[in-house]
Amino acid sequence: MFKVMFHQPRIPPNTGNAIRLVAGTGCELHLVGPLGFDLSEPKLRRAGLDYHDLASVTVHEDLDAAWAALQPDRVFAFTAHGSTPYAEIAYRPGDVLLFGPEPTGLTQQVLTDPHVTAQVRIPMVPGRRSLNLSNAAAVVTYEAWRQHGFAGGV
């Protein structure tokens, strides 16, 4: 339904958690390299448990390769500096939900990429840098899915 994209992820358990997220929601996970780990790493396998075979996971060499493969209509880049709160977006199936690497987030170059439709934020109390990557992806993915009545869910 939605495409969760991690740009240059660095922490294996976050990606493992995202594998469980997409398996549980029927979304796709797109990993954009270079990755900060090997996909066979034990920490990633442990976090993903037995969901690897149930998840749609695609690795793209770089962002250009991801855009060429996906040809997205809408891409929402999540950043603490975004002006639009995530819950104010009317998500559509096929939307790309783009999240940056730990601990830096998306670079200015990625945030201003012509494919990016909007820079979006997840509200937090003042003085906090960011949420954990897999938690942020879960918050947004479930809001997008909720807007569509949890289609396909039980």
Write out the residue range of the structural domain in which residue 55 sits: 3-148
Q: 153 in a domain, yes or no?
A: no
Q: 154 in a domain, yes or no?
A: no
Distance separating alpha carbons of residues 70 and 82, to the nearest angstrom: 23
How many domains, in total, are found in the chain? 1
How confident is the chain (154 residues) per 10-residue block, as mean pLDDT?
96 91 96 90 61 86 98 97 96 98 94 98 89 96 98 93
Q: 104 in a domain, yes or no?
A: yes
Residue 30's nearest CA partner among 61, 67, 5 is 5
Residue 100's nearest CA partner among 37, 6, 24 is 6
pTM comes to: 0.93
Residues 80, 82, 85, 89: what is their CA dihedral angle, to the nearest 10 degrees? -130
Q: Residue positions in the annotated binding site?
A: 100, 122, 130
Residue 77: strand pairing partners: 98, 119
Q: Residue positions in the annotated binding site for S-adenosyl-L-methionine?
A: 100, 122, 130
The CATH number of the domain holding residue 50 is 3.40.1280.10
